[in-house]
Amino acid sequence: MKCRELMQELEDFLDNDLDATLRAEIALHLDRCGDCRLVVDTTRKTIQIFCKTGPLPMPEDTRQRLHDALRRHCSQQHPQS
């Protein structure tokens, strides 16, 4: 297995959604390739951190700017008669 092939299977690998043969090929590749092992470990840890955190509150000034921008956009798309 080549690094590019592993990256194409990364999502299924992390989701445990591969057949045993392909999982074994990836495991062998990871034993030999430190770069891919780093990518897999970092991606796995990033997913774990993301899943453990809740949504962060949006600052009020950012919320207001977003609402204003949406209002402007909507009024341009659907001008009132």
Per-residue pLDDT tens digits for 44-59? 999 999 888 878 889 9
Contact 36, 6 (CB under 8 A): yes
Q: How far apart are CA 72 and CA 32, in angstroms?
A: 55
70 or 78, which is more confident: 70
Q: What average pLDDT does the segment 21-43 reach? A: 97
Distance of CA 79 to the CA centre of its chain: 37
pLDDT reading at 23 higher than 80: yes
